[in-house]
Amino acid sequence: MSTISIGQAVALGIIEGVTEFLPVSSTGHLKIAEGLMGISVDDRAVVGFSAVIQVGAIAAALVYFFRDIVRIVGAWFRGLGNRAERHHHDYRFAWWVIYATLPIVVVGLAAKPLIDSTLASLWVVAGALIVGSGVMWAADQMGRHRRGEDDTTLNDAMWVGCSQILALLFPGFSRSGATMSTALILDLDRVAATRLSFFLGIPALTGAGIYELKDAIGSGAAILPLAVGTVVSFAVAYASISWLLRFVARHSFNSFVIYRILVGALLLGLLGAGVVG
């Protein structure tokens, strides 16, 4: 069993916070960092630790989008008791988030043994980083960016929600990258695509973190490193969210595509040289 120190928890918390919502794969970066630190990437305690510190990043999203979430949840509750409120976009959007989260929950539970073992390989991470880069570049070229957040539909939410499965099965593909790319292909603009990615990620990632908590603790993950990593990821993720929303309003995803290819190629080189295993 791999033991994660406080210093390693801080480093992993920073990496999680920076990369969770950027389309560069937080899981991939965590596995690369763990490999370089000599931490076993398929150890149950380590897998659980990585999932739990995601909760810190998700908490940052909850705080950052607090007003939006309160508005959407409020509309949903009002609609449950008032038929007239059910025509409101926020009420429908709340249901869409619920529906679009179900596929990743079903696949995540069914494929968990495979995800935690064979698919945790750094070779998979490297390949997914590079392949996902091609998907992101193609989506950015194909998208006409003509629809905003208020134009989203149930069809959009379901396609984007299902695309999260790619990142679940292939760490390195990036949940944000998959969801943003799908939204761009559906002709949402970059800001709308990014915000939709956030809203669909909140329930899925929160559920994953809570589900993994018992395994992380039961497998020997120390409470203090877990707490430190989660707090650090929260603080860093909040700043990362603010930066990303400003960035996508003015720039394409090309810089992320180039970065992912470079990281994927570097990881392949490190694996081939035996620097990481």
Helix axis angle, 190-218 to 89-110, nearest 10°: 40
Work out the average pLDDT over 105-132. Answer: 87
pLDDT band at 212 (very low <50, low <70, confident <90, very high): confident
Distance CA(191)–CA(158), nearest Å, equals 18
Q: What is the 3-state secondary structure (H, E, C) of 49-113?
A: HHHHHHHHHHHHHHHHCHHHHHHHHHHHHHHHHCHHHHHCHHHHHHHHHHHHHHHHHHHHHHCHH
CA separation for the pair 29, 122 (Å, rounded): 10
Q: Rounded to an integer, what distance in angstroms lies between the CA atom of residue 104 and that of residue 143?
A: 24
pLDDT at 228 over 90: yes
Choice between 31 and 253, residue whose per-residue pLDDT is larger: 253
Q: Which amino acid is at 249?
A: A
Q: What's the confidence (pLDDT) of residue 275? A: 80
Whether residue 160 contacts residue 181, with contact meaning beta carbons closer than 8 Å, is answered with no
Rounded Cα–Cα distance for residues 277 and 122 (Å): 8
Mean pLDDT for 70-83 is 94
Mean pLDDT over all residues of the chain?
A: 90
Residue 195's pLDDT band (cuts 50, 70, 90): very high
3-state secondary structure of 218: helix
pLDDT of residue 21: 92
Evaluate whether 123 touches 35 at the Cβ level (below 8 Å).
no
C-beta of residue 62 within 8 angstroms of C-beta of residue 199: no
**Span 169-185, mean pLDDT?**
93
126 contacts 268 by C-beta, under 8 angstroms: yes
> What percent of the chain is predicted at pLDDT more than 90?
63
Amino acid in position 129: L
Judge whether 120 and 171 are in contact, CB under 8 Å: yes
Q: Which residue has the higher pLDDT, 135 or 2?
A: 135
| 110 phi-psi bin (left φ>0, alpha ψ -120 to 50, beta other) | alpha
Q: Domain ranges for the chain, please list them.
A: 6-273
What pLDDT is recorded for position 34? 87
pLDDT of 236 higher than 90: yes
Q: What is the pTM of this model?
A: 0.86
Q: How high is the pLDDT of residue 269?
A: 92
Does the pLDDT at position 17 exceed 80?
A: yes
Banded model confidence at residue 1, pLDDT cuts 50, 70, 90: very low
For residue 108, how many other CB atoms are within 10 A of its CB? 18
Q: For 22-47, how does the pLDDT look when each residue is reduced to its tens digit (9 = 90+)?
A: 999 888 899 889 888 888 777 777 87
Sequence-separated (6 or more) residues with CB below 8 Å from residue 234: 17, 56, 57, 59, 60
State residue 216's pLDDT score: 65
Residue 217 has pLDDT above 70, yes or no: no
> How many Å apart are CA 208 and CA 212, to the nearest integer?
6
- Poorest-confidence range of 63-77, 147-161, 202-216? 202-216
